[in-house]
Amino acid sequence: MGFVAETGSGHVLLMDGAPDAAKPENGGQNLAARPMETVLAGTGGCTAYDVVLILKRGRHRVERCSVKLTSERAEKDPKVFTKIHMHFTVAGKAIPASAVERAIALSHETYCSASIMLAKTAEITTSFDLIET
């Protein structure tokens, strides 16, 4: 159950399934991220990219940005995401909290294709911490 995906930009992404104790032949070997984990990770990367770009375009001095995603999925197939929470940590010099809040909102309402797509099945919430450096 291990897979290698080649992206449109020519990069390689490894994926694997979880081991299945009841039927080992149907499970993975836990050697890489699960496919749905990559969907969530890609969404985090997409929105973090937007947030940093929006802040930099506003001439804010961003030094770091990270986002931690937690999620819930449907119990029955298809096990789509039903809830996603994104917690951003933005560090920089003299960045107003209102600018971070606006950047996150713009990402989720206008720019981040991944989160806008996932919002069709999942309730997406956000929060953030702002660290002065």
Nearest to 47 by CA among 130, 119, 131, 121: 119
Chain-wide mean pLDDT for the chain?
Answer: 97
Mean pLDDT of 34-42: 96
The answer to whether 113 and 119 are in contact (CB under 8 A) is: no
User: Residue 57: what pLDDT?
Assistant: 98
| Three-class DSSP category at 126 | strand
Quote the Cα angle for 67-70-71, to 5°: 135
Average pLDDT estimate for 94-106: 98
Within a 10 A sphere around the Cβ of 21, how many other Cβ atoms? 7
pLDDT grade, residue 66 (50/70/90)? very high
Directed axis angle between helix 97-106 and helix 35-57, to 10°?
Answer: 130
Average pLDDT over every residue of 51-72: 98
What is the C-alpha to C-alpha distance for residues 108 and 116, in angstroms, rounded to an integer? Answer: 6
- pLDDT tens digits for range 22-35: 998 889 999 999 99
Q: What is the pTM of this model?
A: 0.92
Residue 1: the pLDDT is 87
pLDDT grade for 94, boundaries at 50, 70 and 90: very high
